[in-house]
């Protein structure tokens, strides 16, 4: 009796286990429907991440008032970008026509384009000549435009103006060597007791991909060359990685920084623990708050990232809008993409949600520069920015980069060994079959 | 009614068999849809590889190549290192956390059972961790295990808990024990409450001390409930995903479990290898569950040979 019951219970449990495990293995396969021009008008869905600031809801309402026959429904996805990507992929797998216009992180462009989940866009209908060139590059796959830039992002070097002035330094560093020497001067000040020199995002996640790519690019290297071939086993890449590895070894970068994502670093900078901090522009507004949450309000400024021998190069961040291959009413979808990415909308996005525009002209607008003093520096940063490796299997490539860079930063591997291993792994990932 | 009774016995048996089949049919149907189909689908999917990329057009192939058992064979090459590491992590995390949970859970159950004044308060207090969703618990502990978090403020030195290393494993075990020991406690408490008071009193009259009574009366009598608790926890812990994923992070060698590995493969649009890992984990969990049930059964039969069967069976009935 007892045994039977236990067996039944165990059977039921295992059943639950199976369901839990297998639900992630959805059926893949089948040819996706191919485009056929942008035809059809009518209601569509616009699918993007959570509208934290509320800006996009307003813009969609505005569109709906102007286009009563082509109503757009705004579908909000979770805030985490990997969850958004998974929902988009699931939709593509089932070839659902539920999504028409989708917001894509710039790093997904190659994957979505190569899988033909999104339609190539008519390039001549977008004002690409007025857009920052690296942003346009990031929206292309093999020379074809697949998405319209909606907003951009670039890394900045936040630095403490008060401490640099006190140490008699008049300009922020443009090279790593100068960053090191300026740190030496600043940390010798009594006011800088207990501070650390530099931090970025070094936890094992996408932020590490960004920081590794920036270090390699800023030393003149590249993760993949223009033909998409990996080139990380090079002296330039080693010089870049060594900047970070030596930084940890010498204490230039504080030990806890290996656990830093954006927010942990921001906390440290706002508490006045860092002289220099590699960060996205969003930190500017938060660190400027005078409500007591920031100890460095009015005491910092931003500069382009430093490099090995001269100014460095940022990773390109940002989001683009694309039209799903499986959508109905693609003519409406295309119009909506143009509407959402126009200069006027991007000005609204900047003013309401601090999202950096992709149009050159907005960076030179005196009114905007007054409200967002970091704009000229951000423009310089984005102009030197490189999209992160544009490989179809981006998730695997980013994973391999994170594994190897993390091993080098934590001293598990020498930087030579890490880069040699990374080269081998990236060769396999980009090798196709 | 009379017609049924007048039928020959064999016919009646066939009739009730038909009725029985009819009655279980809905259950079988539901199980087929929600259990059998996904399982077969996963096994089938695991025979397919990742799509290739056409070097000419740059487009991903439309179909997934059939690779047979390659997804399984690859585990025995150097490419399988990540799998074996994940398997070892899964076993380690399950073993340590369940062992600690049992000890603490039994302790909690004894306290909950004994506490007279404020009994409800103690029980509610002990059960709170179990009531919080795992992801929230993981976030909570992530905050505690932060570089400048509470754990480092209390302990000497600065341990970077969420970085790779044994400390990451310990952090996961600690948080998991905190969360699920109350569950074990609850199940064991249920077992304790059905033990007749007279047995304990008889032992007391016979002069047995409290340690002796715990070892010879309470623990043997609560064993069936405890075994169910252990089985539940082991099966649950073998599928551990959210705790290490949220607390320490994805792709961390120190704490990556089989579930996390399968998730990582699937999220990189390699459903074949992902399904293969899921199938292996399923078989592994199934074997563990099966072994457990067998051991449970073997115990009853084994004792029966020593002539204590009747007592044992009565106890089992009380518990069940």
What confidence score (pLDDT) does residue A266 get? 95
Question: How far is B229 from chain A, CA to nearest CA, in Å?
Answer: 12
What confidence score (pLDDT) does residue A54 get? 84
- What dotted CATH number matches A156-315+393-430? 3.40.190.10
Domain membership flag for residue B209: yes
**Domain ranges in chain A?**
44-154+316-383, 156-315+393-430
Does ipTM come in above 0.90?
no
Nearest to B269 among A22, A89, A116 (CB): A89
Interchain CB contact of A29 with B (< 8 Å): yes
Domain membership flag for residue B109: yes
Q: Strand pairing of A148-153 and A196-199? A: unpaired
Nearest to B45 among A27, A30, A203 (CB): A27
Question: Quick one: CA dihedral A336, A342, A348, A352, positive or negative?
Answer: positive
| Number of other residues whose CB lies within 10 A of the CB of residue B29 | 10
Which pTM does this prediction carry?
A: 0.85
pLDDT at B39 over 50: yes
Contact A204 B52 (CB under 8 A): no
Q: What phi, psi does B136 have (nearest 5°)?
A: -70, -45
Q: What is the pLDDT of residues B65-107, one digit of tens each?
A: 999 999 999 999 888 899 999 999 999 999 999 999 999 999 9
Mutate to test the interface with A, among B269, B275, B311 (most CBs of A within 10 A): B269
**C-alpha atoms less than 13 angstroms from C-alpha of A374 in its C-beta half-sphere:** 29
Contact B147 A3 (CB under 8 A): no
Residue B158's pLDDT band (boundaries 50, 70, 90)? confident
* Fold classified for A44-154+316-383: D-Maltodextrin-Binding Protein; domain 2 (3.40.190)
Which residues make Cβ contacts (< 8 Å) with residue A58, sequence separation at least 6?
Answer: none
**C-alpha atoms less than 13 angstroms from C-alpha of B200 in its C-beta half-sphere:** 16
CB A241 within 8 A of CB A216: yes
State the DSSP H helix or E strand holding residue A249, giving kind and residue range, or none if neither: helix A235-250
B188: domain CATH number is 1.10.3720.10
Between the CA of residue A182 and those of A113, A166, A311, what are the distances in Å? 45, 11, 16
Same fold, A44-154+316-383 and A156-315+393-430: yes
Domain membership flag for residue B64: no
Contact A31 B62 (CB under 8 A): yes
**Length in residues, chain A:** 433
Interchain CB contact of B289 with A (< 8 Å): yes
What confidence score (pLDDT) does residue B307 get? 40
Domain membership flag for residue B277: yes
Q: What's the average model confidence in pLDDT over B236-261?
A: 94
CB B319 within 8 A of CB B195: no
Q: What residue of B is the nearest CA neighbor of A396? A: B268
Q: What is the pLDDT along chain A (433 residues), one digit of tens a residue?
A: 444 444 444 444 444 444 444 443 333 333 334 455 898 999 999 999 988 778 899 999 999 999 999 999 999 998 888 889 989 998 998 899 999 999 999 999 999 999 999 999 999 999 999 999 999 999 999 999 999 999 999 999 999 999 999 999 999 999 999 999 999 999 999 999 999 999 999 999 999 999 999 999 999 999 998 888 999 999 999 999 999 999 999 999 999 999 999 999 999 999 999 999 999 999 999 999 999 999 999 999 999 999 999 999 999 999 999 999 999 999 999 999 999 999 999 999 999 888 999 999 999 999 999 999 999 999 999 999 998 888 899 999 999 999 999 999 999 999 999 999 999 999 999 885 4
Contact B320 A24 (CB under 8 A): no
- Secondary structure of A351-377 in HEC code, one letter for each residue: HHHCCECCEHHHHCCHHHHHHCCCHHH
Q: Which domain holds residue B169?
A: 79-284
Determine the Cα–Cα distance for residues B107 and A364; give it in Å rounded to an integer. Answer: 69
Determine the Cα–Cα distance for residues A200 and A265; give it in Å rounded to an integer. Answer: 7
Hunting for tokens 């209390």 — which residue is that?
B154
Determine the Cα–Cα distance for residues B90 and B93; give it in Å rounded to an integer. Answer: 5
- Chain A, residues 139-158, CB within 8 A of chain B, namely 141-142
Q: What's the average model confidence in pLDDT over B218-228?
A: 89
CB A218 within 8 A of CB A313: yes
Contact A1 B45 (CB under 8 A): no
Interchain CB contact of B64 with A (< 8 Å): yes
Using left for φ > 0, alpha for ψ between -120 and 50, and beta otherwise, residue A116 falls in: left
Domain count, chain B: 1
Give the end-to-end CA distance of chain B in Å, rounded to a whole number.
Answer: 35
Residue B10's pLDDT band (boundaries 50, 70, 90)? low
Q: Label residues B168-193 b or e (16+ Cβ within 10 Å = b).
A: bbbbbbbbbbbbbbbbbbbbbbebbe
Q: Specify the 3-state DSSP secondary structure of B34.
A: helix
Domain membership flag for residue B50: no
Mutate to test the interface with A, among B33, B43, B52, B53 (most CBs of A within 10 A): B53
Structure tokens at A144: 């074809």
């Amino acid at each position: 009796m007892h045994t039977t019951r236990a067996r039944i219970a165990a059977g039921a449990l295992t059943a639950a286990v199976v369901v839990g495990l297998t639900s992630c293995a959805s059926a893949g396969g089948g040819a996706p429907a191919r485009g056929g021009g942008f035809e059809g008008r009518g209601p569509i869905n616009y699918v993007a991440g959570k509208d934290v600031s509320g800006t996009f809801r307003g813009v969609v309402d505005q569109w709906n008032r102007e286009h009563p026959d082509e109503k757009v429904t705004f579908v909000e996805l979770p805030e985490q970008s990997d969850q958004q990507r998974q929902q988009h992929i699931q939709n593509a797998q089932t070839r659902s026509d539920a999504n028409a216009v989708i917001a894509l992180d710039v790093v997904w462009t190659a994957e979505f384009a190569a899988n033909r989940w999104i339609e190539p866009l008519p390039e001549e209908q977008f004002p690409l000549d007025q857009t920052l060139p690296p942003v346009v590059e990031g929206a292309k796959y093999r020379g074809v435009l697949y998405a319209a830039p909606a907003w951009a992002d670039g890394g900045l070097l936040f630095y403490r103006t008060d401490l640099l002035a006190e140490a008699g330094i008049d300009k922020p560093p443009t090279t790593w060597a100068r960053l090191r020497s300026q740190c030496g001067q600043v940390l010798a000040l009594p006011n800088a007791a207990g501070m650390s020199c530099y931090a970025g995002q070094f936890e094992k996640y996408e932020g590490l991909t960004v920081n590794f790519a920036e270090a390699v690019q800023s030393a003149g290297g590249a993760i993949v060359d223009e033909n998409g071939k990996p080139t990380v086993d090079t002296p330039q890449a080693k010089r870049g990685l060594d900047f970070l590895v030596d930084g940890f070894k010498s204490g230039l970068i504080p030990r806890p920084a290996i656990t830093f994502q954006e927010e942990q670093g921001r906390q440290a900078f706002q508490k006045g623990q860092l002289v220099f901090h590699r960060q996205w522009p969003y930190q500017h507004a938060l660190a400027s708050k005078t409500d007591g949450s920031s100890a460095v309000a009015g005491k910092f400024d931003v500069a382009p990232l430093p490099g090995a021998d001269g100014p460095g190069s940022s990773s390109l961040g940002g989001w683009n809008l694309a039209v799903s291959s499986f959508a109905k009413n693609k003519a409406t979808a295309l119009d909506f993409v143009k509407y959402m990415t126009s200069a006027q909308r991007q000005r609204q996005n900047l003013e309401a949600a601090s999202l950096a525009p992709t149009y050159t002209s907005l960076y030179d607008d005196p009114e905007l520069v007054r409200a967002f003093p970091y704009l000229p520096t951000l423009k310089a940063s984005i102009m030197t920015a490189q999209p992160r490796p544009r490989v179809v299997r981006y998730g695997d490539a980013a994973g391999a980069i994170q594994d190897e860079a993390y091993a080098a930063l934590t001293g598990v591997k020498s930087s030579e060994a890490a880069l040699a291993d990374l080269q081998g792994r990236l060769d396999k990932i980009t090798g196709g079959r | 009614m009379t017609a049924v009774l007048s039928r020959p016995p064999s016919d009646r048996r066939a009739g009730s068999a038909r009725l029985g089949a009819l009655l279980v049919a809905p259950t079988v149907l539901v199980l087929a849809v929600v259990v059998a189909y996904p399982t077969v689908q996963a096994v089938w999917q695991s025979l397919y590889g990742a799509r290739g990329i056409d070097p000419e057009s740059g487009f991903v192939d439309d179909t997934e190549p059939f690779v047979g058992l390659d997804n399984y064979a690859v585990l025995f090459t150097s490419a399988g290192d990540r799998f074996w590491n994940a398997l070892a992590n899964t076993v380690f995390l399950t073993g340590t956390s369940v062992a600690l949970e049992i000890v603490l859970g039994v302790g909690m159950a004894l306290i909950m059972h004994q506490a007279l004044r404020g009994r409800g308060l103690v029980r509610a207090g002990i059960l709170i961790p179990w009531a919080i969703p795992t992801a929230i618990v993981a976030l909570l502990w992530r905050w505690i295990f932060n570089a400048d978090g509470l754990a480092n403020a209390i302990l000497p030195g600065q341990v970077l808990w969420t970085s790779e290393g044994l400390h990451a494993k310990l952090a996961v075990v600690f948080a998991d024990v905190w969360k699920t020991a109350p569950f074990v406690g609850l199940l064991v408490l249920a077992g304790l409450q059905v033990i007749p008071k007279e047995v304990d009193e008889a032992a007391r009259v016979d002069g047995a001390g409290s340690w002796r009574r715990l070892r010879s009366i309470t623990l043997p009598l609560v064993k069936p409930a405890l075994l169910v608790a252990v089985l539940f926890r082991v099966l649950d812990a073998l599928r551990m995903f959210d705790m290490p994923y949220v607390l320490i992070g994805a792709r961390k060698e120190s704490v990556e479990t089989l579930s996390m590995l399968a998730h990582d493969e699937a999220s990189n649009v390699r459903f074949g290898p992902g399904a293969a890992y899921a199938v292996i984990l399923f078989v592994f969990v199934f074997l563990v569950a099966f072994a457990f049930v067998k051991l449970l059964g073997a115990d009853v039969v084994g004792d029966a040979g020593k002539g204590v069967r009747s007592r044992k069976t009565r106890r089992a009935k009380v518990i069940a």
